[in-house]
């Protein structure tokens, strides 16, 4: 075990204290990795695994006013839930002859080698090469690959020479996109077949509000240039352009990823990658630092979400999730599994292991790690093995299911081995582990550091029968019947900087964190011979409106649902309104005036004219209709179609305070019918 600086003891105390207060508190699914601060991801797929390389944000020092990124960290997964920590794979000061830092990498696999491109701050771009995805990477050049003197770079006022995005086209030609700090400060240059040289001069590109993070990918013959926008619109977003060429003819298309939660309207950086038949957007925010109460400016963490394309090739805006992605396959517990492969953790760190790879280290009482979706099969596990080392008296590994304090199925005692890298295998019996579970290894013992942990394995007396692994979410289908139940999260486009998918009361998912002015688009909705009523399952603490418009955000208004408070965002109710009859196929826009969660919606053909007094179109005349009509008269909401007609309780062709008075009298049973 390496010796920590004194600051670590403060952090350890804080973590331990928080653990005592919140024994089951861990980091959300949303950050995929929390052992170190990471940002600016790039990714490559190799041998069935997704490898993500990140800038490593080092610990913040007093008075720090810039990023401190000395090295590049690599993590990988084969199931999108459990990530293996490969540690530091490149350090510019150690592994190059010219650079001092390594910012915002880009990774390419070609010629049976891995090429890792990086920025020396904003002062040039270098390249490092390895035979393995986990390194070691070494810079083969005694100098930068891209400088201000590279042909075609100038003139470039205030250009940052960093953020390389390397793309290899179908014909084998490789391109590097780079630059920053200005709409016209984008350059693209061809790379030689050796991937460590350039060909010709750099070509200029421009993009609306371009700030940094150039990236190129290709999908069904189209080229997609994605980038981080500047702050002229209040927050940096990942936006994109499309073209039939990798270097010219681009047309701006919109936003790929809005400002994610817990990013404090700060910078972002992304990569887009296809893995096992689905597309994903990897990016960063500042969730981990926020949860730890640390500096959230210069300490970031990486997140990942699935990305979808519309039928016309445009990108459906990515919605940052809370619960993360679907696990692609379950973990086999009956083989040796690296302890540094985990879903969540609390308190631990990792370091290089003398037996190869890395090990979990700096373990203290109450720390834990979680492995997501472990499949024990029908036979079940009967024993557990762990590879451990300790220079103290050791401690215990509690094997639990479901949570750090969940069902205890075994305890493995770890004794001192005479050194932090002197390894031995400990075992214990296990009882009650069948089927699929989240496994928690909870570490207990005395004060100080307990032991290091390298790998684990379960054993079974029976032949395990594996459970079928889950299937990732399919790409949403474009072209749907208005009369089917339409899930809110299956939109085709979106305008929002806050919207997220959320869990719903029925165990499903919906859309939440909606703000005033947000909207969602559902393309090619078939209304058939006519729809006259809209219904939705919603929850809110306020009284927002949902406008229904056709074909554009300012298109034909067919109705407005005045959402009544349900008493909480977890209290879902079905609410409805009549709409102006609409036929045929249209793009449907749901436009929100305030905070509301929406699970699903649908349309009916039987709305008819409704009943006089039924202002909200729910089939009943009650106090809710009074509230809706009052808000309409105060100009806080709008009424259209049958809802407006039903509000005219005296039948004089106008909706005014007289109609409100009559509606109140009807509810109080002072009159028995409308109109008068």
Residues with active-site annotation: 40, 212
Cβ atoms 638, 644 nearer than 8 A: no
Helix (H) or strand (E) holding 238: strand 238-243
What are the backbone dihedrals phi and psi of residue 272, each rounded to the nearest 5 degrees, phi first? -120, 130
- Rounded to 5°, the CA angle 23-26-31 comes to 175
Cβ atoms 224, 316 nearer than 8 A: no
> CA 411, CA 346: separation in Å to the nearest integer?
19
Nearest to 30 by CA among 513, 549, 621: 513
Q: Percent helix, strand and coil across the chain, each rounded to 5?
A: 10, 45, 50
Q: Is 107 exposed, middle or buried (0-12, 13-18, 19+ CB in 10 A)?
A: buried
Cβ atoms 350, 340 nearer than 8 A: yes
Nearest to 164 by CA among 110, 204, 118, 130: 118
Spell out the alpha helix ranges (H) of 241-314.
Answer: 287-292
> CA 371, CA 348: separation in Å to the nearest integer?
14
- Give the distance from CA 561 to its chain's centroid: 30
What are the backbone dihedrals phi and psi of residue 61, each rounded to the nearest 5 degrees, phi first? -105, 155
Cβ atoms 295, 289 nearer than 8 A: yes
Enter the tokens of residue 635.
């100009």
> CA 216, CA 227: separation in Å to the nearest integer?
9
Q: What are the Cα distances from residue 612, in Å, to 52, 90, 530, 547, 667?
A: 61, 73, 22, 22, 13
> CA 25, CA 135: separation in Å to the nearest integer?
34
Helix (H) or strand (E) holding 19: helix 7-21
| Total length of the chain | 676
Helix (H) or strand (E) holding 252: strand 251-257
Instruction: State the first-to-last Cα distance of the chain, in angstroms, to the nearest integer.
Output: 87
> CA 562, CA 577: separation in Å to the nearest integer?
8
Cβ atoms 374, 355 nearer than 8 A: no
Burial 238-256 (b: 16+ CB within 10 A, else e): bbbbbbeebbeebeebebb
> CA 498, CA 308: separation in Å to the nearest integer?
18
Cβ atoms 497, 237 nearer than 8 A: yes
> CA 503, CA 513: separation in Å to the nearest integer?
12
Strands 480-481 and 519-526: parallel
- Indicate if the alpha-carbon torsion angle 504, 510, 513, 519 is positive or negative: negative
Nearest to 346 by CA among 78, 566, 34: 34
Cβ atoms 633, 606 nearer than 8 A: no
């Amino acid at each position: 075990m390496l010796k920590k600086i004194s600051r670590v003891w403060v952090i350890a105390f804080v973590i331990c204290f928080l653990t005592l207060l919140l024994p089951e508190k861990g980091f959300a699914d949303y950050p995929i990795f929390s052992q170190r601060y990471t940002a600016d991801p790039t990714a490559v797929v190799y041998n069935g695994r997704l490898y993500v390389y990140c800038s490593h944000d080092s610990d913040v020092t007093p008075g720090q006013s810039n990023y401190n990124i000395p090295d590049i960290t690599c993590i990988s997964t084969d199931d999108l839930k459990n990530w293996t920590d490969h540690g530091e794979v490149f350090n510019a000061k150690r592994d190059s002859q010219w650079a001092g830092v390594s910012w915002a990498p880009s990774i390419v696999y070609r010629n049976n080698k891995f090429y890792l491109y990086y920025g020396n701050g904003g002062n040039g771009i270098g390249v490092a090469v390895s035979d393995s995805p986990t390194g070691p990477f070494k810079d083969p050049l005694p100098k930068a690959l891209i400088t201000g003197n590279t042909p075609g770079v100038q003139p470039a006022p205030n250009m940052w020479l960093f953020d390389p995005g390397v793309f290899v086209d179908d014909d084998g030609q490789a391109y590097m996109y780079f630059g920053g700090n200005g709409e016209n400060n984008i350059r693209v240059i061809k790379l030689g077949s050796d991937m460590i040289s350039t060909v010709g001069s750099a070509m200029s590109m421009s993009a609306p509000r371009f700030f940094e993070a150039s990236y190129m990918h290709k999908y069904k013959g189209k080229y997609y240039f994605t980038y981080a926008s500047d702050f002229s619109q209040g927050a940096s977003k990942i936006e994109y352009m499309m073209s039939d060429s990798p270097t010219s003819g681009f047309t701006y298309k919109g936003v790929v990823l809005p400002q994610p939660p817990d990013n404090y309207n700060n910078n972002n950086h992304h990569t887009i990658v296809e893995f096992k038949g689905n597309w994903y957007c990897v990016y960063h925010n500042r969730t981990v630092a926020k949860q730890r109460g640390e500096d959230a400016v210069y300490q970031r963490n990486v997140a990942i979400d699935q990305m979808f394309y519309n039928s016309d090739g445009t990108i459906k805006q990515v919605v940052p999730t809370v619960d993360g992605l679907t696990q692609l396959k379950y973990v086999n517990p009956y083989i040796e599994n690296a302890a540094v492969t985990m879903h969540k953790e609390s308190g631990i760190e990792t370091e290089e292991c003398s037996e190869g790879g890395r090990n979990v280290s700096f373990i203290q009482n109450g720390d834990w790690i979680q492995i997501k979706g472990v499949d024990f099969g029908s036979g079940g596990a009967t024993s557990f093995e762990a590879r451990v080392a300790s220079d103290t008296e050791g401690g215990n590994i509690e094997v639990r299911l479901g949570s750090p304090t969940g069902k205890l199925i075994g305890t493995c005692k770890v004794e001192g081995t005479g050194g932090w890298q002197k390894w031995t295998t400990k075992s214990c019996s296990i009882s009650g582990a069948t089927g699929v579970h989240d496994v928690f290894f909870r570490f207990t013992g005395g004060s100080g550091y307990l032991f290091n942990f390298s790998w684990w394995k379960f054993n079974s007396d029976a032949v395990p029968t594996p459970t079928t692994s889950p299937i990732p979410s399919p790409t949403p289908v474009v072209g749907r019947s208005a009369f089917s139940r339409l899930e809110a999260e299956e939109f085709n486009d979106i305008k929002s900087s806050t919207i997220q998918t959320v869990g719903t009361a029925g165990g499903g998912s919906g859309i939440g964190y909606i703000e005033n002015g947000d909207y969602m688009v559902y393309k090619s909705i078939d209304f058939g011979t006519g729809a006259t009523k809209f219904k939705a399952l919603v929850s809110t603490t306020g009284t927002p409106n949902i406008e229904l418009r056709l074909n554009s955000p300012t298109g034909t208004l067919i109705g407005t649902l005045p959402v009544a408070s349900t008493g909480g965002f977890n209290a879902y109710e079905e609410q409805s309104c009549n709409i102006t009859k609409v036929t045929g196929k249209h793009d449907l826009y749901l436009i929100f005036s305030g905070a509301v969660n929406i699970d699903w919606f649908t349309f009916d053909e039987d709305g008819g004219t409704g009943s006089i007094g039924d202002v909200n179109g729910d089939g009943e005349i009650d106090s809710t209709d009074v509230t809706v009509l009052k808000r309409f008269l105060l100009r806080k909401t709008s009424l259209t179609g049958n809802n407006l007609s039903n509000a005219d309780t005296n039948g004089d062709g106008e909706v005014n305070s007289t109609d409100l008075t009559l509606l109140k009298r009807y509810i109080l049973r002072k009159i028995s019918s409308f109109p008068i």
